[in-house]
Chain A
Amino acid sequence: MRRPKIFYGQLFFTLVVCAFLIVPAILSALAGVTENFFVGLKSGFTFRWIIEVWELYSETIYLSLLIAVFCLIINLFIGVPAAYSLARIGGRTARIVEEMIVLPVAIPGLAIALALIIMYGGFRDFRISWSFILVGHVLYTLPFMVRSVLAVLTSTNFKILEEGAASLGAPFWHRFIYVVLPNAKPGILAGSLMVITLSVGEFNLTWMLHTPMTKTLPVGLADSYASMRLEVASAYTLVFFVMIVPLLIAMQLLAKSQRQPKKLIQDEDAH
């Protein structure tokens, strides 16, 4: 297929922009495995910075993962039924509720954090525990789960499916588990990946809410850039990448498989 000249021009431009974004990231990652950043790769390849990161900051990695998992669990139990209710009710009420759920995304993380501190700062035990951060994360990620599931539900005409299941005698819980949920699965899966990714990477909110005992990975990262050697901070970033990139790739693959429509076999009725 002969491509027009402008295609190569556009391709070049795209590659340059990608390089502009990716090269610094690669350099940063490289710095994490180099003996001495300012000397460069010539100084030698080493894992000592990564080991140091682990010794200093392993708790932050565990905490980030813990919060992400709990955030996901809460999202599943709150977000999926919420999306289902909104899809069932429809109309203006549903739209208003949806707007309210999405609000935390529009408001700066710092503002949400301040609001939480003002409201619940008085409950000391709660304030200094990691569940305080969890609350912030749930507020921030819930709209993504709800939106994701809602989108899939509204596109599958699940109300008719539910009527079909009901006509066969299925009570609400049976058709919810065996008909609605399986058909909402793509939305739930996409929403879940998004929730985990967002939670692991969340900084604005967590920075305001954290205490020295409850540091997550991004907070520790900022810490290390402020107070540690560049190589340590870079190694830390590398660890972060290794955690996040597989998740992002999984999200991409999932989105791609959704977009491919299944073929309908239009064979002639044999009878």
Chain B
Amino acid sequence: MSSNATAVTLHKCAKTFEDGTRALDPVDLAVEGGETVVLLGPSGCGKTTLLRIVAGLENPDKSGEVWFNNDDVTELPIEKRNVGMVFQSYALFPNMTVAENVAYGLRVRRMSKPEIEARVLEMLKMMRITELSNRNIDQLSGGQRQRVALARAIAVRPRVLLLDEPLTALDALLRERLRVEIDSLLRSLAITSIYVTHDQAEAMALGDRIVVMSKGKIVQTGSPREIYNTPKNSFVADFIGTVNRIPFAMINGIGSPKGHDLVFRPEDAEIVEKSSGQFNGKVVNSFFLGDRIRLIVDCGTSEHITIESFQRDVIEEGDEISIRVHQDRFLEIN
């Protein structure tokens, strides 16, 4: 964590739009300098609104405050905040070439021509798109545009980098590849970043910390490990990874003091002999995924159970199996 990096703090920021929609309830958020925080949630949860408040594209409702380190930037418009922003649709200027796009922020700052050229070249090299320098924007593929958008945002050395679902518009394979690149880019730059996505795999891969949001509120904040292993409520548990539910009465030998459902992850279930199983089921679907098998099992509950097993046994549809979950692998959810 660089000491020069900008810490972003939000106090009681809420947002109600003119037509009355309450996009965000009062929210507090503290991002450390150099940290990458991911705002994760389904559409309409307020994550993009929150990002835009940090950017300066939206003003928080009165009494909301936005601080960059010790500067109160609440009243500053986006032009004066020195942030870098990558939009979902990239917002590249169609009337300019790639190089001109990347140079735009530098031109606004009235840097000298040789300085601009040097910096643009540096950025193009960093994003590995030097050969695209003179191309027009509409001649680029999705992945290339994304790199140009990143180069342009970083060229101005922003205090904070804001990314609004930058990978959503790309196909799955490209997304995975670019995810890794963005991750190493953010780490090497050591810049404070706020990243918005609805893809939980992306969030887990990129975030130092994840902020899970729902319906305008922050539901849980924590490291990827914390969020995955100790989700605070069923919304978070359901949103991150897959989760199974069993009414506790079904299980032999397990006591749940509050009488709740027992909740566990697919990879924590073990296929065992009938004598040591906690409950039984019939395999409805079996998927061989190479390194493991995924089974959809009907245990008599309203929803089928999903199990992932690394065991090498061949298990097929129609088989009867017994399942055991270790005591402390059950998730505790209110």
Contact = CB atoms under 8 A, between A and B. Distances in A.
A15 B138 CA distance: 40
A269 B55 contact: no
A249 interface: no
A229 interface: no
A186 to B, nearest CB: 11
B152 A267 contact: no
B223 to A, nearest CB: 29
Interface stretch (A54-62, A93-101, A122-130, A156-164): A156-164
Interface stretch (B86-94, B209-217, B265-273, B320-328): B86-94
B141 interface: yes
Contact of B87 (A163, A265, A267): A163
B139 A165 contact: no
Interface stretch (B1-9, B77-85, B115-123, B298-306): B77-85
Interface in B82-134: 82-85, 87, 89, 91-95, 104-105, 108-109, 128
Contact of A164 (B85, B128, B138): B85
Interface in A141-188: 156-157, 160-161, 163-171, 174, 178-179, 182-183, 185
Contact of A165 (B55, B104, B141, B153): B104
A269 B87 contact: no
A266 B142 CA distance: 8
Most chain B CB within 10 A, of A156, A170, A174, A183, is at A170
B103 to A, nearest CB: 10
B281 interface: no
A169 B108 contact: yes
Given A174-B108, A264-B138, A164 B82 contact: no
Given A157-B89, A164-B87, A167-B153, A267 B77 contact: no
Contacts of A2: none
A170 B267 CA distance: 51
> Which interface class (under 10, 10 to 19, 20 to 34, 35 or more) fits A?
20 to 34
A269 B174 contact: yes
A182 B136 CA distance: 14
A269 B94 contact: no
B141 A163 contact: no
A169 B109 contact: yes
B80 to A, nearest CB: 8
A262 interface: yes
A169 B83 CA distance: 8
Contacts of A268: 141
Contact of B89 (A160, A179, A264): A160
Contact of A179 (B55, B78, B93): B93
Interface in B131-165: 138-141, 143-144, 152-153, 156
Contacts of B91: 160-161, 163-164
Contacts of A171: 79
Contacts of B87: 160, 163-164
B57 interface: yes
Contacts of A157: 89
Given A266-B141, A271-B128, A168 B152 contact: yes
Contact of B79 (A169, A263, A264, A267): A169
Contacts of B139: 262-265
Nearest to A262: B138
Most chain B CB within 10 A, of A178, A185, A263, is at A178
Interface string A227-267: 00000000000000000000000000000000000111111
Given A161-B91, A183-B94, A265-B139, A169 B85 contact: no
A269 B55 CA distance: 30
B89 A165 contact: no
A263 B92 CA distance: 17
Nearest to B140: A265
A170 B105 CA distance: 7
A264 B145 CA distance: 12
A167 B158 CA distance: 10
A168 B94 contact: no
A268 B171 CA distance: 12
A167 B84 contact: yes
B141 A265 contact: yes
A183 B95 contact: yes
19 contacts: A156-B94, A161-B91, A161-B93, A163-B57, A164-B87, A164-B91, A164-B92, A164-B93, A165-B93, A166-B57, A167-B55, A167-B57, A169-B82, A169-B156, A170-B108, A171-B79, A183-B94, A264-B139, A269-B174
Given A167-B78, A265-B140, 17 more contacts: A164-B85, A164-B92, A165-B104, A167-B55, A167-B85, A168-B105, A168-B108, A168-B156, A169-B79, A169-B156, A170-B105, A171-B79, A179-B95, A262-B139, A264-B141, A265-B141, A269-B174
Interface of B: 55, 57, 77-80, 82-85, 87, 89, 91-95, 104-105, 108-109, 128, 138-141, 143-144, 152-153, 156, 174, 177
Interface of A: 156-157, 160-161, 163-171, 174, 178-179, 182-183, 185, 262-269, 271
Nearest first, the 3 closest Cβ-Cβ pairs linking A and B are A164-B91, A168-B105, A182-B95
